[in-house]
Structure 1
């Protein structure tokens, strides 16, 4: 994976940093580097059960020992150790997640056994641990009245899960209650703002016939988003990267959304068998109007920064170097006079003009039945792209999403959000929901049955 030179450098560096000569590169590894070779791992030789146990004990013991030392010395946090293992080494689980999986006491035993053999002293914070490790995905900093809330799960592109949503809610409760905070700015660690929700959670719950758990998670997430919606503070989403599905819905609950040329928005839900369930069918039409919301939600179109700004989903499009100054400017202005304008920001924009024409009320019966609206040609590349996107959506999801969008204009936001929640059992109970979500995980195109 790394090559023998990097492996040798890493072991020597670790030996120096931890003042542990035992970690220095072996002579066999130095010989590989000198000869320009790598390890030969193509053989089919196996090992007996006893050897496998010893290898597991030695490797995991060393991993736990070194990881606990790294944290104890303040090099980085426990969460960062796990992120480094998953992002840099492509591990499925980080060291402390593995410890939770096999049991913390067992991990301590392995590390202690290795430490005794290697002559190491393990930090007390690790050896005295009895309970599973708790991980923090939310970091908060407050400066000059502006609270920056960082969603810090970059190894999963900051995807929303039960723990993250709960921690975000707790952070928002604390900030909303502080007199020294006037503005709350959300940002995502890494390249994404938030890339949706944890799809595997949905699939596991559907297969376990536990759709109520999906409802409970989503209802709780609605409560957390309302802490932004109803906040007396000025709320900003720093959507300077990718915001998908639930991540975009999180951003839409804020007063403002700041982006750069790298910003990308998308609602992928209808293409994976469900509909946006965290306010996407209700806040989107209230922001940009019904036709543009259909363009965004029903077809799941990718919106670049310029298109997102034209639709009104992005309130500030700035250079990356101007993000911080823009946050300060917004903080000085305060909350918007009217958050939901119900129309796109730029009626002259070509994407907006097409959306208002193609997704007009009169065209919807034809589009939802797979037809081509009068006045449009299937040979037109833009039209063809829309028809293809709609044809690849799950029919039930498409129909339910369309109905929810339509209902937004005739009720208040609270009632609309209630309708979103009310349809969750029906949509997640379809065969197409399981098919679409499973296909996403498995990296294949879904095959929908309209069931």
Structure 2
């Protein structure tokens, strides 16, 4: 971007946007400011991403940005494995699909996106970063010949998996060491942009220490000129927070950072949220990364606990979640929930803990718990009554009805309905609680129908 900016009359307005294949379907959008990009331009690019429903990943202005920095070497490593006779193409494909839980292996991916593109990307990285990134000779030849031949069957190989894992671990950690990205950025890029089930550092954390050491040793034998970054050399787990925080416009913006999982709430999310809330200075704006605020509790946790008859885990989870939500509700400064997309179940209950709630027109807010035989257990019942009154609270909880942003504002479930581009900290913290309002006729009739009269 700095090279583009050097030719512009107003370089401070230059910011890059990198879409991913297929751009209509892929939800990742890398936002690349250079060192002279104004904060106004960078934030405008991120608002544009929000309007498109994309996950905005702010990247360094360096070769490969974030995703291609580790993804292209991963493709190249697959080719080198075949070129060196370590494995054939079907074996590499089977290993990648099985070991990394991918729908397509590296060779099939190159055929879909274009083998010449992989070669060109590797050449671009090598020109800036050195010979380790240079395309394998077989990749150069295949770019001229056409798609890779994928015929034949293969079985997963441990040696191949070690090489495929080690290259993304080392390159990802190198990028982090340069200060251009965090481990979470790398993993989000893999999970959202490449649709990997788990990112490189989550795979590292899930690997046994002896497996990590073995893979790094194999990498160092093959590439003795490439040092293992300190982040990995220590051998411990890499921190991957599910909630992050940053300062903008005089406010602390807290992000639920699991966009590929609809920002579902689990124990890790609540622990990270507690940390961010406790450290927040000034007004706090709570947002969901990507196209959803929070689509409820992580059902996988509850299913696992029920299957193992470990109901105490659910009780402990609920108790801790209640503590964290109470801390958010009691935060000494103003708190604002900025809701886009789904805020369901626990996500809606999280929204209710804030002083002010602001939705977009495409927001979908509701309490669908009764549809699976449970009720809002994180304070939704009593906090909802404070927002919309007993009649509408009974209706929303009892029927599981999901309302859009405009209806939510009309009934007082949120305080305002604003377009996504208006969801910037300065505008959000200026919104005042709406207080009581006259209900539209349709909603007034529903409130009357569900009103409690048995004690009158």
Is TM-score (shorter-chain normalized) higher than 0.5?
yes
* Structure 2 residue 41 is matched with structure 1 residue 41: no
Say which of 412, 417, 430 aligns to 1:329: 430
Partner of 1:348: 440
* Structure 2 residue 450 is matched with structure 1 residue 359: yes
**TM superposition shift of 1:20:** 4.2
**TM superposition shift of 1:112:** 3.4
Pair 122,195 (structure 1): closer, same or farther in 2 beyond 3 Å? farther
Partners of 1:124 and 1:310 in 2: CA distance: 54
Say which of 276, 282, 298 aligns to 1:198: 298
* Paired residue secondary structure (2:343): strand
Say which of 104, 121, 135 aligns to 1:13: 121
Say which of 329, 335, 346 aligns to 1:229: 329
Partner of 1:420: none
User: Is the 2:321–2:378 contact (alpha carbons within 8 Å) kept by the matching residues of 1?
Assistant: yes
* Structure 2 residue 248 is matched with structure 1 residue 161: no
Pair 296,7 (structure 1): closer, same or farther in 2 beyond 3 Å? farther
CA RMSD across the alignment: 2.8
Say which of 64, 67, 72 aligns to 2:177: 72
Partners of 2:384 and 2:290 in 1: CA distance: 26
TM-score (norm 1): 0.69
* Structure 2 residue 241 is matched with structure 1 residue 136: yes
User: Is the 1:12–1:24 contact (alpha carbons within 8 Å) kept by the matching residues of 2?
Assistant: no
Partners of 2:340 and 2:434 in 1: CA distance: 24
User: Is the 1:104–1:132 contact (alpha carbons within 8 Å) kept by the matching residues of 2?
Assistant: no
* Structure 2 residue 376 is matched with structure 1 residue 266: no
**TM superposition shift of 1:16:** 3.7
Q: Deviations for 1:393-415, whole angstroms, at most 9, x for unmatched residues?
A: xxxxxxxxxxxxx9xx99xxxxx
User: Is the 1:64–1:107 contact (alpha carbons within 8 Å) kept by the matching residues of 2?
Assistant: no
Spell out the pairing of 1:176-195 with structure 2 (5 A cutoff). Answer: 178=281, 181=282, 183-195=283-295
TM-score (norm 2): 0.68
* Paired residue secondary structure (1:191): coil
**TM superposition shift of 1:105:** 4.9
| Further displaced range: 208-217 or 139-148 | 139-148
Say which of 203, 214, 220 aligns to 2:320: 220
Greater helix fraction, Structure 1 or Structure 2: 1
Pair 46,230 (structure 1): closer, same or farther in 2 beyond 3 Å? closer
Q: Deviations for 1:239-276, whole angstroms, at most 9, x for unmatched residues?
A: 13321111110000111101121211122212233221
User: Is the 2:285–2:429 contact (alpha carbons within 8 Å) kept by the matching residues of 1?
Assistant: no
* Structure 2 residue 378 is matched with structure 1 residue 278: yes
Tell which has more relative contact order, 1 or 2 (C-alpha 8 A, sep 6+): 1
Partner of 1:112: 217
The answer for unaligned runs of 5 or more in structure 2 is 1-103
Partners of 1:31 and 1:346 in 2: CA distance: 71
* Paired residue secondary structure (1:298): helix
**TM superposition shift of 1:63:** 2.4
**TM superposition shift of 1:84:** 1.5
| Further displaced range: 142-151 or 277-286 | 142-151
Say which of 295, 298, 307 aligns to 2:398: 298
User: Is the 1:192–1:241 contact (alpha carbons within 8 Å) kept by the matching residues of 2?
Assistant: yes
User: Is the 2:212–2:235 contact (alpha carbons within 8 Å) kept by the matching residues of 1?
Assistant: no
Partners of 1:101 and 1:28 in 2: CA distance: 33
User: Is the 1:195–1:247 contact (alpha carbons within 8 Å) kept by the matching residues of 2?
Assistant: yes
User: Is the 1:259–1:317 contact (alpha carbons within 8 Å) kept by the matching residues of 2?
Assistant: yes
User: Is the 1:105–1:130 contact (alpha carbons within 8 Å) kept by the matching residues of 2?
Assistant: no
Where has structure 1 moved over 6 Å in runs of 4 or more? none
Q: Deviations for 1:89-135, whole angstroms, at most 9, x for unmatched residues?
A: 22221111111112245324312321331244234423432322221
Say which of 187, 206, 216 aligns to 1:101: 206
* Paired residue secondary structure (1:141): strand
Partners of 1:140 and 1:300 in 2: CA distance: 32
Partners of 2:194 and 2:452 in 1: CA distance: 51
* Paired residue secondary structure (2:150): coil
Say which of 314, 329, 338 aligns to 1:238: 338
**TM superposition shift of 1:7:** 5.0
* Paired residue secondary structure (1:186): strand
Partners of 1:150 and 1:203 in 2: CA distance: 26
**TM superposition shift of 1:141:** 2.4
